[in-house]
């Protein structure tokens, strides 16, 4: 009697586990290298910033990243070390909202992304930030590297963003 009861319980547990596995399979992660995977990475980029996790944010960039808010003629904001030095305070003390407007998968395997960026400046009062700085358009380029999408170029400078979008056929 106990063996039969244990067998029935075991079968019930297996059926429940199988059912959970099946539902988990329907929520698959996007296939690597696809636009869906890129959009997922962009969401993780924004999330890392909003968690104020500088290292997680930097991990989503290439070593040769060029991340700038201005026309950086002297390339002072090029490379992870320079990016960390320049933007660490902002990551730790502000929030960020990125709205993906357009994605263009490029023939060389990279991707160009037009964004609307909103820098959210605390403190919050009644659920609203003290200030919101909007950069529209902003522009980014992504490279699939080490099995993941990584940011290798970003600017929130409107003129530069428009020039780069035109070069990449996003107009």
DSSP the chain: -HHHHHHHHHHHHHHHHHHHHHHHHHTPPPPTTSHHHHHHHHHHHHHHHHTT-HHHHHTTEEEEEEEESS--TT-TTBSHHHHHHHHHHHHHH-EEEEEEEEEEE-TTS-EEEEEEEEEEEEEEETTEEEEEEEEEEEEEEEEEETTEEEEEEEE--HHHHHHHHHHTT--
**pLDDT at 26 (0 to 100):** 52
Q: Would you say the pTM of this structure is higher than 0.85?
A: no
Q: Does the pLDDT of residue 123 top 60, yes or no? A: yes
**pLDDT at 33 (0 to 100):** 86
Please report, rounded to a whole number, the percentage of residues in the chain having pLDDT higher than 70. Answer: 83
**pLDDT at 127 (0 to 100):** 85
**pLDDT at 12 (0 to 100):** 40
């Amino acid at each position: 009697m106990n063996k039969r009861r244990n067998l029935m319980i075991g079968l019930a547990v297996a059926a429940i586990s199988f059912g959970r596995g099946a539902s988990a399979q329907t929520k698959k992660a996007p296939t690597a290298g696809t636009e869906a995977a890129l959009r997922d990475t962009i969401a993780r980029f924004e999330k890392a910033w909003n968690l104020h996790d500088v290292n997680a944010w930097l991990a989503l960039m290439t070593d040769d990243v060029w991340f700038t808010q201005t026309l950086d003629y002297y390339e002072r904001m090029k490379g992870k070390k320079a990016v960390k030095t320049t933007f660490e305070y902002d990551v730790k003390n502000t929030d960020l909202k990125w709205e993906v407007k357009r994605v263009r998968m490029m023939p060389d395997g990279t991707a160009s992304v037009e964004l609307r960026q909103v820098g959210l400046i605390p403190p919050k009062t009644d659920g609203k930030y003290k200030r919101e700085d909007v950069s529209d358009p902003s522009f980014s380029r992504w490279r699939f590297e080490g099995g993941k999408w990584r940011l290798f170029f970003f600017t929130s400078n409107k003129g530069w963003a428009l020039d780069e979008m035109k070069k990449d056929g996003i107009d």
